[in-house]
Amino acid sequence: MPYKNRQDALDYAKAYRESERGGKITKAGKDAWYQQEKERIKLKERDRRRLMRENALEELGGKCVICGTTENLEFNHIDPSTKEREVSTKCGLRHKEHLKCELLCKEHHRLWSNAEARLARQHWLTSLSVEERRKRISDCL
C-alpha cells in the first residue's frame, strides 16, 4: 500500500513484521526453514552446477582435443600461469575460467599433467612460450 508519508510506510512495515502474519525472523526460524528446504536447495544447486558444466563443455567443443572422445572430460588450462580459479567450482564457471582451458579425457589429462610436471622439474619449462611448451609436452605423450 503506497504511503505519502515515509514514516507511515515505515510504521506499517514494522507492524507487519511484528504481526502474526509477518512474524519476526529469528535464527531458530531460519534454521527450521533450512531443515525443511535443505533437500530442495541441494537438488536445485546440483542441477544449476550441472547445467553450467554442460554449457562450458559445449562451448569448448565437447570432446577431447587429442583423441576426440566425449567421455570423462576434464578441463586443462592451456597456460597454467593464467589460472585464477578452479574450473570445477561454481565461481570458476561463472567467471569464465573455462575459456582459458581445453578439454582432455581423463587419461590424456593425466598423461599431460605428468609430462608437464616432468618437464617443469627440468626448470626450463616456464621460460618457454605457450606454443613451445605445448609442443614439448605433446612430444612427451
pLDDT in tens, 78-108: 887 777 777 766 666 666 778 888 999 999 9
Whether residue 54 lies inside any domain: the answer is no
Containing structural domain, residue 70: 60-140
Whether residue 106 lies inside any domain: the answer is yes
| Distance from C-alpha of 10 to C-alpha of 13, rounded to nearest angstrom | 5
Whether residue 86 lies inside any domain: the answer is yes
Whether residue 136 lies inside any domain: the answer is yes
Whether residue 12 lies inside any domain: the answer is no
How many degrees, rounded to 5, is the angle at CA 84 between CA 78 and CA 85? 95
Amino acid at 128: L
Q: What is the sign of the dihedral through the CA atoms of 109, 60, 90 and 38?
A: negative
Whether residue 3 lies inside any domain: the answer is no
The 3-state DSSP class for residue 67 equals: coil
Whether residue 80 lies inside any domain: the answer is yes
Binning pLDDT at 50, 70 and 90, where does residue 73 land? very high
Task: Provide the number of structural domains found in the chain.
Answer: 1
pLDDT score for 129:
76
Whether residue 101 lies inside any domain: the answer is yes
For residue range 31-70, list pLDDT tens digits in order. Answer: 777 788 888 889 998 998 888 888 889 988 999 998 999 9
The answer to whether 76 and 103 are in contact (CB under 8 A) is yes
Is the whole-model pTM more than 0.75? no
